[in-house]
Amino acid sequence: MTLSCKDCTDYVTWFAVGGRTFLYSPDVEVSVPDDLELPTCTLCRKVHLYGNAGALLEVALRPEYERLRKERVNFAVTRLKDIEPELQISDIASLCGVTEGLLSKVLSGEKVATPMLIRLLESFCLHPEDIERHLDNIALQDLLEGEHSSVI
């Protein structure tokens, strides 16, 4: 069965093309391995994901995607510590609403950061003036929760 390209009407066949990238998620573009064969238009080189092509692409791109996410988290945490040298990992974890243990596992590569965690870290890097205010709010919330628990 021969497929036609929807854009240029030439035919689609499986072959590898070097230098391709793929938007893996809304904020991460990943390099496609040069030797990965995907259904591709012979004329315009557009990739057509049908059959098992999407699954093959997912398997091929996931390690690079996870590496890029880890790199972004490590960069953001290092940047936050440069901006506010007194910040501890526990403070950064509290800012993002995660446990210190989870953030440590993400930094060591044992776990993969969610896109939301990455966005929060990068947001605090872009707006460091928000760090102290958020830490003060967390401390106040902890204090209020402590008062309520002693009443019960």
Span 21-67, pLDDT tens digits: 988 877 788 999 999 999 999 999 889 888 889 899 999 999 998 88
The pLDDT value recorded for residue 151 is 41
CA dist 120 and 56 (Å) reads: 31
Q: Answer yes or no: is pLDDT of 17 > 70.
A: yes
Q: What are the two backbone dihedrals, phi and then psi, of residue 3, each rounded to the nearest 5 degrees? A: -100, 145
Structure confidence at residue 147 as a pLDDT band (50, 70, 90): low
Structure confidence at residue 72 as a pLDDT band (50, 70, 90): very high
pTM of the model: 0.72
Contact indicator for 61, 24 with CB cutoff of 8 Å:
yes
